[in-house]
């Protein structure tokens, strides 16, 4: 295990609206407001045709081939995530969400393209004095957290 320490900073309450792409809007917002590190909580709905990365085709394969799950209808959404800077210093959201409709559900990473249906309520909890960042891991291709 690796870790670093941070302290609470500003708190933002944000409403995303119909048609906005979650990771694009939140990364843009973080850049505009100087948010370097943060925890994110989301509640709302994902529009049809939203996409979630729901795992690798084969966990032992190299290169890793993701499974992209496309929603065929509007789904309720609850998600959590983090924002840390990438290797170029840009805010990078890593967020997983659970979505459901009529007793069926799915979960995965929103980065494949989750689109807001009507609204998505988001609380961003900024972390000050935070040195964590994301760095490309050459073996997996993932941008991994370096605390």
Write the pLDDT tens digit of every residue in 3-39.
999 999 999 999 999 999 999 999 999 999 999 999 9
Architecture of domain 9-128: 2-Layer Sandwich (3.30)
Q: Where are the domains of the chain?
A: 9-128
Mean pLDDT, residues 60-81: 95
Mean pLDDT, range 104-120, rounded to an integer? 98
Instruction: Kindly report, residue by residue over 71-89, the tens digit of the pLDDT.
Output: 999 999 999 999 999 999 9
Output the CA torsion 3→34→96→75 (10° steps). 160
How many angstroms separate the Cα of 82 from the Cα of each of 14, 37, 127? 15, 7, 10
* Residue 129 pLDDT grade (very low, low, confident, very high; cuts 50, 70, 90): very high
- Confidence grade of residue 141 (pLDDT, cut at 50, 70, 90): confident
Give the global pTM.
Answer: 0.95
């Amino acid at each position: 295990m690796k870790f670093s320490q941070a302290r609470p900073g500003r708190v933002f309450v944000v409403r995303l609206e119909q048609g906005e792409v979650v990771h694009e809007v939140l990364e843009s917002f973080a850049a505009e407001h100087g948010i370097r590190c943060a925890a994110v909580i989301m509640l709302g709905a994902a529009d049809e045709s939203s996409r979630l990365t729901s795992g690798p085709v084969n966990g032992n394969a190299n290169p890793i081939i993701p499974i992209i799950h496309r929603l065929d209808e509007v789904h309720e959404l609850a998600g959590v995530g983090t924002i840390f800077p990438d290797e170029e210093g840009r805010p990078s959201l890593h967020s997983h969400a659970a979505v459901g409709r009529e007793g069926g559900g799915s979960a995965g990473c929103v980065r494949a393209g989750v689109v807001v249906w009507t609204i998505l309520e988001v609380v961003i909890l900024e972390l000050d004095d935070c040195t964590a960042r994301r760095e490309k891991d050459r073996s997996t291709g993932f941008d991994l957290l370096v605390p």
